[in-house]
Amino acid sequence: MRKFQGLYHPSYDHDACGVGVLANLNGYKSHDIIRNAIQVLENLGHRGACGCDPATGDGAGLMFQIPHAFFRKECQLINISLPEVEEYGIGMVFLPRDSKNRVWCEQKVEQTVLAESQVFMGWRDVPTDANQIGELAKRTSPFIRQFFVKRGKNIENREQFERKLYVIRKVIESAIYQELSGDDFYIVSLSSKTIIYKGLLRADQLGSFYDDLNDEMIVTALALVHSRYSTNTLGSWQLAHPYRMLCHNGEINTIRGNKNWMHSRECSLSSALFGDDITKLSPIIHEGASDSAGFDSVLELLVSAGRSLPHALMMMIPEAWENCEVMPDNKKAFYEYQSCLLEPWDGPALIAACDGNRICTTLDRNGLRPFRYVVTNDDFVVGASEAGVLDIDPEKIIDRGRLEPGRLFLVDTERGCLVADEKIKYEISSSKPYRKWVSNNMINLEDLPISSATPGYDKKLLREHQQAFGYTNEELEILLSPMATEGDEPIGSMGNDTPLAVLSNKPQLLFHYFKQLFAQVTNPPLDAIREKLVTSLASSIGPRNDLLTETPEHCRQVRISRPVLTNTELSQIQSLNYDDLKSKTLPMLFRKTSLSDALEVAVNELCIKASRSIREEGVTVLILSDRGMDRDWIQIPSLLATSAVHHHLIREGLRDQASIVVETGEPREVMHCCLLIGYGATALNPYLALETVRSIASDGLIDCDGTIAQENLIKALCKGILKTMSKMGISTIRSYHGAQIFEALGIQQKVIEKYFTWTNSRIEGIGLQEIEIEYRKHHSQGYPDRPLPHSPLLEDGGYYKWRADGEYHQFNPQSVALLQNSTRLGDYQIFRQFTDSIDSQSQHLGTLRGLFQFKKVQHSVPIEEVEPVQEIVKRFSTGAMSFGSISKEAHETLAIAMNRIGGRSNSGEGGEDQERFDPDSNGDWRNSNIKQVASGRFGVTSHYLVNATDLQIKMAQGAKPGEGGQLPGHKVLEDIARVRNSTPGVGLISPPPHHDIYSIEDLAQLIQDLKNANDKARIHVKLVSEVGVGTVAAGVAKGKADVVLISGYDGGTGASPESSMKHTGVPWELGLAETQQILVQNNLRGRIVVQADGQMKTGRDVAMACLLGAEEFGFATAPLVVTGCIMLRKCHLNTCSVGVATQDEKLRKNFSGKPEAVINFMMFIAQQLREHMAMLGFRTVDEMVGRSDCIEPKLAINHWKAKGLDFAKMLTTIRVPEHFARYCCEVQDHQLEVKLDRRLIKDSKESIEKGSPVQLNYSIQNTDRTIGAMLSAEVSRKYGERGLPKNTIQVKLKGAAGQSFGAFLAGGISLSLEGETNDYTGKGLSGGIISVFPPFKVNFTAADNVITGNVALYGATRGQAFFCGRAGERFGVRNSGAEAIVEGVGDHGCEYMTGGRVVVLGSVGRNFAAGMSGGIAYVLDEGGVFSTLCNRESVDLEPLVNPEDLSELLRLIETHVHYTGSVRGKEILGSWSETRTKFVKVMPVDYKKVLLSKILERGTKVETN
């Protein structure tokens, strides 16, 4: 393996991209397909990326059928005489450039072919032209050759030959990878059917690089193309797609688990088709393979072993079948059966796979990637990530469509047709009696006998156990009681300021040394509440049989509906005692009196017992239990036991033969359960937590009885587990199970390797001995050697709230008092006392930076020579806190302060009142220069965007990364509703993902959109620190963001689930160091500003951040404290007594903050930074950025846990060439000059200046993206929110528009498009009018035709949009004021909508109106099935009878016809009196209430008048 510098590891890389497929349905081969494929690739170019050197792409490739004539001709030239078609295979190979290695590899290839009894025919050098490719690509380019293998005599048929070629490839790889890395040798393809040409190329370079592709003799009926966008740029040829069978756009979130499970299956694989060859296939997935490569490997295995391509894809990416009531039963049975064999590969994915004759494309269950296709009347099919990638005469088109979530799209050249999803799935699911198999073999948990009664508890025993398991008072009050009462996870606020577990002086649970990972940019988190229908917590317990065969016994398992078990349910599992399903309980305990290493010995013994039980007793369910914990026996940490057994069994090849169930007193919060499941437990029984809530209930402390309390607790835990999964974008627990979506923070590598294999742990830390000490401490709480007489009370805890003998908090009584007093009095000496109290962490190791000290590597400079505070403070900003979470007074105080000193305040996500955009008469300016764009898009209008110097895309927030938010109705006051474009009193939801960012290339698109919406602003991307954030930052830099913000996990917030605040993400120190290292290494650092924030409070904090790589700094909690916050931690309750984080009028009067105090704070911090700079010898901040050589770990760390930490990787200085920048010194090239909008602006100059009407005409194509945004910016700057009078600038366009057509379109502009549009049409529509209609001469029905992509009108606030045709998923998502008409929509239509009108004149997909809280939708329900497709949790469905509604609808349809000429619209108008009865009015319940009360209010006013 390669050695990597610093914190980077290639497993953190992500990619995403554009995919295209082309085929002739009849299998007619032509060179046209190749030519068109290359054209498609070029038109998808913007979905790929370039690295530091613009000529080097991230990868592009092409797969097609082997053109026999071409190779016969070519081989003749080199004296190879090819046999007949199908009698030979071609290997395409990347070989080492070094000739000695190359010859060695070639020999291995030849030897293997011979050893497998096939005929090696020879090598061909592939002609390439490296002239046009980039420097980096050239430097890393391999030697590319092809070899030819003739079918041996022992092979009977083509399929068997293909299988043999697969075996040969695996054998060669295994042999060579023992010596060389994948960078040096790589078999691109080896097949008798297909061949792949790919490389580290830009989309437009493929054709010129591989000269073969231009040869007219290269003909094919099928082609797959791919253009790659990778987060890193360290060139890699083999990572380009296609892989052997597929191209992939998206990301497999559960890859770690999928790999683990595959690994454990290898021993049990058997297949008659392979015979003895099966053993040669290991490893199925090479360690270090990317998610796409891993997927490819398993797909290839399944297909080689005899399953059809669609069958294999259905197994790996099952559609959402669990909650689907309308699914045919045999299909459901098929999926349930398959779920016993294979866990889903979960994540956003568009997979396009080819087996030589068929191309099968499938989309993940959430439909998170786009795929649009066109079929022509000459049997040509082209499908791609975007519409319009190929210029096709509209008259030839007979079908235009899109792939829907979970569906298959099959081009079968053998059958000569497109096979519909229903048809192919019906064929496959009825090929075997799956329903019968499932009914006969699967057991429901509730049908099992209940064994013995569970042991009872008295008060004393309960208290002892609680103490021995380390329960605290706080946990009972803050976690367990609310869960038991509400069935929901508890909410807290103001972030986390306690130390990491490894720095804590208090004994910790092992759980707390892990942090949850979360989806960020490269894949989206999910909304497990509003999009529940795709999620599932159901799974099954029992052994798994061989993956390659299908027998009835394969589904001999016990169904469980959720992973948290009651005592009764556990006892039912304990009672399992059949021949093929047998459980056994293994105690996870160690003896108190045993001497040193007791824990280690006990864990190892437990592992051996586990494997022995499986091997010798045929046990299929292992129950790990700490029920026996008592005075003499101490519990083994349940996480350690679970993961140790899990990995031990994987290593022993036994993992598939038994499930692990954990019976433990330890877990009591969501995070604990998630860890147990993530490290291998199928289910757990948290008996002590259950007992605790029962006792809380029976003591009358909560308002429910014991059983309900227990049920509520389980419900809350399960909800939380689902939430945690969805933070990573994972939908089903089957794929979360064992997926290890965590990073360890503060655990020794040795422990990780042995017990938590393949978990990221970057700073070392404690070993088993320390863990044992901690657990002994817990235990002695319950069983002290010298008990005191009075009834023992639980420890207080002090993790959530400060307590004198609780956990250390950086914000404590002293620090808050000193900070407030010093900044109010302007007293630098007192401020010093404050910072000393934070910085001198000799007793309390608060933070990682607290363990560092400065190292002088050069002479100090006089402080007078250091840049002045006035310059330094310009690098400061305040954190994103929305007006809504904090009060108007607090929000404006921060803005005024930052504007006075030239820093920046941040609007937060709630929009901003226009009246703040211009300075006040007294000279103060309340405008926030950073305007945030978050997933809710509240008040994000063109006018909002132009009134900023910085636009910040919030990908995540420190306190709850991967989650959305909710502003309850009672907090949505008049003012707040106004700036958020919503209705007062109606709750608002910020979705977990940005619905226009499901991958890195989507983010690049949003960056582009915002840059267009305000070309003068810097575009920020806010990320939260986690492992791999550096590679994401590199992707962000390549996506042309101007600033990347690395936020710590500990940030404050208005409201967040407690488990998110404590357990998700990592400190900024780690993320920042990683970011700096990777940006520098990739030579991207010069292009992007790096900002850091997260609980920064002192000049020393800032200095550390600067040395680790930041040049700008953010502060949020500290300035809030300066304005009066006293960490009440009640923001979520609206009762902030000092008026900072409340909307309560009365409390807001208590606000006493002053801009002067905030300014003092900023100036003091800057002054302290200067002092550090002078000492370290830096005159400017720029010089200081990234100088991690000026940091060293404190020498005398003698904390018993922290002393094991190792910061070498973090503090490494990356070795790069001299000219690589270490801080931002260039500007990104946004290529705005070439935009169509420049012409629009030029051509409508007079209109903008004088308001005179103008009409313009242009033709466009899919590479013309974000049309209209830049023009809108000009209008908004001049005319403000209202824009120009309607239709002042009329633009007529022809063609297929690129993404974000009409984004942020301002009032007075209308775009009229003859053609079609891609995703994000009308995003943030701000008053303009968009109309899209097909050309007049087409051969399909417009209303059945997909005319616009996914996520149209996301966050639209005003204006109108008319679509003559159907739209994709999430039409009108978060629309808050626009009017739109469309003739059919996909899933999740009108999701989160808060205002405006949507009219659908055709069928809708599932989950319509999920989370919709305002506005009205009118849906034409001709089939009468709408009510089953609508998510009715927040809306009522009403018949359309009210004359006001009817006239509104009529007006809208008439306008639709006016703008688009819609045939559908005309038909409806033609039969209006009849059709109007078929409309359903979708009315949000809360919205209705508010409207009603307004009407009543108006009524009473009238009366009193």
Which residues are near another protein by CB under 8 A? 473, 494, 701, 784-791, 793, 796, 800-805, 809, 811-814, 816-818, 820-821, 824-825, 1126-1130, 1133, 1135, 1137-1138, 1146-1147, 1150, 1152
To the nearest whole angstrom, how small is the minimum distance from the Cβ of residue 1121 to another protein?
10
Closest CB to another protein among residues 494, 714: 494
* Strand order across the 143-150 sheet: 119-125, 143-150, 88-95, 186-191
- CA 1040 – CA 1245 distance, rounded (Å): 28
For another protein, the closer CB: 823 or 1350 = 823
The smaller minimum CB distance to another protein, of residues 790 and 1250, is found at: 790
Cα maximum dimension of the chain: 103
- To 5 degrees, how large is the angle CA 329–CA 330–CA 336? 90
C-beta of 111 vs 812, nearer to another protein: 812
Please state the separation of Cα 415 from the chain's center in Å. Answer: 38
Closest distance of CB 1013 from another protein, Å? 39
Tokens 């990739």: give the residue.
Answer: 1082
CA pair distance 1122, 1124, nearest whole angstrom: 5
Tell which residue, 947, 1012, 540, 950, has the closest CA to residue 733.
Answer: 540
Rounded Cα distance between 640 and 515, Å, is 15
* Minimum separation from the CB atom of position 509 to another protein (A): 21
The per-residue b/e assignment along 1310-1325, b for 16 or more CB within 10 angstroms, e otherwise, is bbbbbbbbbbbbbbbb
- What the block records as the tokens of 1503 is 């009366």
Write the DSSP assignment of 31-95 as a string of letters.
Answer: HHHHHHHHHHHHHTGGGS-B-SSTT-BS-EEEEEE--HHHHHHHHHHTT----STTSEEEEEEEE
Instruction: Kindly state the tokens that stand for 443.
Output: 């057991």
Instruction: Give whichever of 451 and 780 is closer to another protein, judged by the CB atom.
Output: 780
**Shortest Å distance, C-beta 800 to another protein:** 8
Rounded-to-integer distance, Cα 997 and Cα 1036, Å = 12
Smallest gap from Cβ 490 to another protein, in A, equals 13
Q: How far is the CB of 515 from another protein (least distance, A)?
A: 22
Is residue 817 within 8 A of residue 802, CB to CB? The reply is no
- Strand 15-24 with 380-384, pairing: antiparallel
CB of 1122 to another protein, least distance (A): 13
Q: How far is the CB of 1129 from another protein (least distance, A)?
A: 3
Please identify, using beta-carbon distances, which residue of 577 and 698 lies nearer to another protein. Answer: 698
Angle between helices 309-316 and 329-339 (to 10 degrees): 70
Distance CA 230, CA 225 (A): 16
Report residue 294: phi and psi, to 5°.
-65, -45
Q: Shortest Cβ distance from residue 1095 to another protein (Å)?
A: 14
SS3 1503: helix
Q: Which helix (H) or strand (E) holds 1316?
A: strand 1309-1317
**Closer CB to another protein, 665 or 798, in the complex:** 798
Distance separating alpha carbons of residues 248 and 997, to the nearest angstrom: 17
Q: How far, in Å, CA of 383 to CA of 370, rounded?
A: 10
d(CA 524, CA 250): 10
> Which residue's CB is nearer to another protein, number 787 or number 1285?
787
Contact indicator for 171, 116 with CB cutoff of 8 Å: yes
Is residue 592 packed enough to be buried (19+ CB in 10 Å), middle (13-18) or exposed (0-12)?
middle
Which are the catalytic amino acids?
A: 17
- Give 73 or 459: the residue with its C-beta nearer to another protein: 459
Nearest partner of 240 among 526, 402, 395, 19, judged by Cα: 19
For residues 1359 and 1393, the answer to whether their CB atoms sit within 8 Å is no
Q: In 3D, which of 875, 900, 880 has the Cα closest to residue 891?
A: 880
Q: Measured from the CB atom, is 105 or 1122 closer to another protein? A: 1122
> Based on CB atoms, which residue is closest to another protein, 1150 or 1212?
1150
Return the number of the residue (385 or 692) whose C-beta is nearest another protein. Answer: 692
In terms of CB distance, is 1149 or 1458 closer to another protein?
Answer: 1149
- Which residue type does 162 have? E
Q: Shortest approach of another protein to residue 891 CB, angstroms?
A: 20
Residue at token pair 């945690």: 724
**Is residue 930 within 8 Å of residue 896, measured between CB atoms?**
no
DSSP string covering 373-434: EEEETTSEEEEESSTTSS---GGGEEEEEEPPTT-EEEEETTTTEEE-HHHHHHHHHTSS-H
**Taking the complex as a whole, how short is the minimal distance between the CB of residue 808 and another protein, in angstroms?**
12
Place of tokens 């799974």: 539
Of the candidates 1286, 1292, 1288, the residue with the CA atom closest to the CA atom of residue 1251: 1288
Tell me which residue of 123, 109, 246, 96 sits closest to 169, measured CA to CA: 109
> Under a CB-based contact definition with an 8 Å cutoff, are residues 781 and 468 in contact?
yes
Reduced to 3 states, what is the DSSP secondary structure of residue 1073?
helix
For the bound state, the minimum distance from the C-beta of residue 908 to another protein, rounded and expressed in Å, comes to 21
d(CA 455, CA 630): 13
